[in-house]
Structure 1
């Protein structure tokens, strides 16, 4: 049996280890020794932190990786990026390889397909473009806001200084009192809101009770709809009877009666008739009064001295004439 020396074993293991190390390093760099790949190039003025082994994507699908980055001039004005495409895809010649990044800062090369019918071959150069980073976009958006905020803070500072200079101790005290009154007003407003909420309570609020009463009233009206209809019908019949009756004739007769009454009152106010003379002529009234007084005296004398007017005596003796009471009262 052939004996292998220890030095040979160490040499073989060392060579095997170096081989595995090289293969692993290339695998980590994105190189594959067991798949067919296509190499294309892109030239960028800047790479925004792009590193070897970053992915190359088409429509979000990883189709390869970044193999190398080389500086083409001493000023690093142009950087050559080697892209290794592992998928069997056709890339139109007018496609654009764009460096993009996500929110976590991971960079990738996104290939946007063009519409050309001619396709890139291994060793060709693709058009290159660089998207602005998320930080750059954020800075671009925030820069105007920062300037506006600085101007606003300056204005607020000026206003505060002005207010500080205007408000003396008395004014500040009045302002504190006003704020205290405002707090009291807000408390009252809160109580009023609570009261309003109580009124609007669907279970025991006053407004809900009012609506319940209104609902009961409408329900009662609905239940008595026939009675209301009968009342309206009776009212319609009554108004129809009044309309069909001789209301105009009655009003005309009443107007005629009022005219006769006015004529009678006019005659009473005039001195043409006897009643008018008695009411308006004082002499007639006095004569009538005098006649009534005389008649009253005659009747009184007839009552007191009846024998003066009816004389009857068997012996021819005359009774003594008595004075009437009214004459006695006059004499006294």
Structure 2
């Protein structure tokens, strides 16, 4: 039996340990020593925190990983990123490898397929692009807002300076007086509001009572609608009757009558005619009064002494003449 020395055992264990260490290190970097993976390259101006072992995705599917990042110049203006494709996918030559990130900040390389019929082979270089980060997007959105805010703050500062310059001691006193007046005004407004609330009270308010009265009037009009219709019908009939009854001719006759009456009044006011003389001449009036007085005495004497005017006697005896009552009253 072959005897193995301790030195040989230690050497073998050392080699095995080194191999396992290399394999583990490559596995952690996303490399596989026992598979025929495809390696492609992309050159970026910035990688936004891309690290080895980050995923390479196609339509959200992991097809590989980032194996290495190298600087191509001293200014780090160009960064070479090595992409190891482990899935059996054909990548069109005009595809784009875009560095993206999620909300948690995890970076990945998203390959957007092109439409070329020629495909990339191991060792070829793919077009590179970088999506803006969320911070960049927010910064881009906030920059105009920040500028507007700066302008607004400047305007507010100017206004405050102007207000401080205006509000001297006199102005502050006037402002206090104005505030006191405003307080009184608000008190009056509260009293007015209370009065309006009382007026608008649905049970005892004046407005409600007015509406109730209007409702009662409307109800009465509704109940007497037939009577109102009858009155309007009668009025229409009356106006129709007047229109059909030769109202114009009646008015003309009335005008003639008024003219004749005016003419008669004029004659009465003049000295022409008996009535005019009687009304306007005092002598005629006095003579008429005297004649009427004599006629009254004659009639009274005829009543008192009828035999003076009608004498009839068989024996020829004369009756004694009686005095008139009016003459007796006059003599007394």
Same fold, TM-score > 0.5, yes or no: yes
- Superimposed CA distance per residue, residues 187-210 of structure 1 (whole angstroms, 9 cap, x where no aligned partner): 8489859968x9699xx9x78x95
Report 1:167-316 matches (<5 A). Answer: 167-179=167-179, 182=182, 188=189, 192=193, 228=225, 232=229, 235-236=232-233, 239=236, 243=240, 247-270=244-267, 271=270, 272-279=272-279, 282-283=280-281, 285-296=282-293, 298-300=295-297, 303=300, 306-307=304-305, 310=308, 314=317
Please provide the CA RMSD for this pair. Answer: 4.8
Return the TM-score normalized by structure 1.
0.71
Give the conservation status (yes or no) of the 8 Å contact 1:297–1:326: no
Task: Name the counterpart of 2:161.
Answer: 161
- Cα distance change of structure 1 residues 46 and 287 upon mapping to structure 2, 3 Å threshold: same
Task: Name the counterpart of 1:44.
Answer: 44
Give the conservation status (yes or no) of the 8 Å contact 2:277–2:284: no
Bigger Cα displacement from structure 2, 95-104 vs 182-191? 182-191
Return the TM-score normalized by structure 2.
0.71
Answering whether residue 64 of structure 2 is matched by residue 64 of structure 1, we say yes
Bigger Cα displacement from structure 2, 93-102 vs 319-328? 319-328
Task: Name the counterpart of 2:25.
Answer: 25
Q: Distance in 2 between matches of 1:108 and 1:69?
A: 13
- Cα distance change of structure 1 residues 178 and 115 upon mapping to structure 2, 3 Å threshold: farther
Give the conservation status (yes or no) of the 8 Å contact 1:308–1:321: no
Q: Distance in 2 between matches of 1:186 and 1:19?
A: 92
- Cα distance change of structure 1 residues 14 and 326 upon mapping to structure 2, 3 Å threshold: farther
Task: Name the counterpart of 2:104.
Answer: 104
- Cα distance change of structure 1 residues 54 and 264 upon mapping to structure 2, 3 Å threshold: same
- Cα distance change of structure 1 residues 320 and 103 upon mapping to structure 2, 3 Å threshold: closer
Answering whether residue 89 of structure 2 is matched by residue 89 of structure 1, we say yes
Q: Distance in 2 between matches of 1:73 and 1:194?
A: 87
Answering whether residue 76 of structure 2 is matched by residue 79 of structure 1, we say no
Task: Name the counterpart of 1:125.
Answer: 125
Aligned length: 315
- Cα distance change of structure 1 residues 260 and 46 upon mapping to structure 2, 3 Å threshold: same
SS in 2 for 1:25: helix
- Superimposed CA distance per residue, residues 127-149 of structure 1 (whole angstroms, 9 cap, x where no aligned partner): 11223322233333333332332
Bigger Cα displacement from structure 2, 313-322 vs 242-251? 313-322
Q: Distance in 2 between matches of 1:3 and 1:194?
A: 120
Q: Distance in 2 between matches of 1:328 and 1:322?
A: 10
Give the conservation status (yes or no) of the 8 Å contact 2:278–2:284: no
Q: Structure 1: where are the runs of 5+ without partners? A: none
SS in 1 for 2:47: coil
Q: Distance in 1 between matches of 2:125 and 2:191?
A: 74
Q: Distance in 1 between matches of 2:195 and 2:64?
A: 69
Q: Distance in 1 between matches of 2:327 and 2:86?
A: 167
Task: Name the counterpart of 1:152.
Answer: 152
Q: Distance in 2 between matches of 1:17 and 1:180?
A: 93
Give the conservation status (yes or no) of the 8 Å contact 1:300–1:324: no
- Cα distance change of structure 1 residues 111 and 278 upon mapping to structure 2, 3 Å threshold: farther
SS in 2 for 1:132: coil
